[in-house]
Amino acid sequence: MKKSKKDMKCNVKDHGCGGALYFVGFIGAAVYYISTATSFWGGVLGVIKAIVWPAFLVFEAMKFFVM
C-alpha cells in the first residue's frame, strides 16, 4: 500500500515530530548539568541550560560553519 504525502508529513498538533527526542535530550542534559553543579543555584542554572541546549547547539554549529 502506497502512502500519500499527507500521511508522511509530520503531525505537529499531535507532538509527533521530535518531541520525544527533545525530551530525551532534555533529560540527558539535565542529569549532566545537575550532576556537575557545585551549589543549589548551579543546579537551577543547569535546569535552565537543559531547557535551552538546542539553541546553544545551533548557535555553535552556525559559528563553526560560518553562516
Q: How far out from the chain centre does Cα 39 lie?
A: 24
Segment 3-57, tens digit of pLDDT: 555 555 665 565 556 677 788 888 999 999 999 999 999 999 999 999 998 888 8
String of DSSP letters for 6-66: HHHS--GGGT-SSHHHHHHHHHHHHHHHHHT-SSHHHHHHHHHHHHHHHHHHHHHHHHHTT
> What pLDDT was estimated at residue 66?
84
Neighbouring C-beta atoms of residue 30, cutoff 10 Å: 18
pTM: 0.62
> What pLDDT was estimated at residue 41?
95
Dihedral in degrees, nearest 10, Cα atoms 61, 63, 27, 44: 180
> What pLDDT was estimated at residue 19?
73
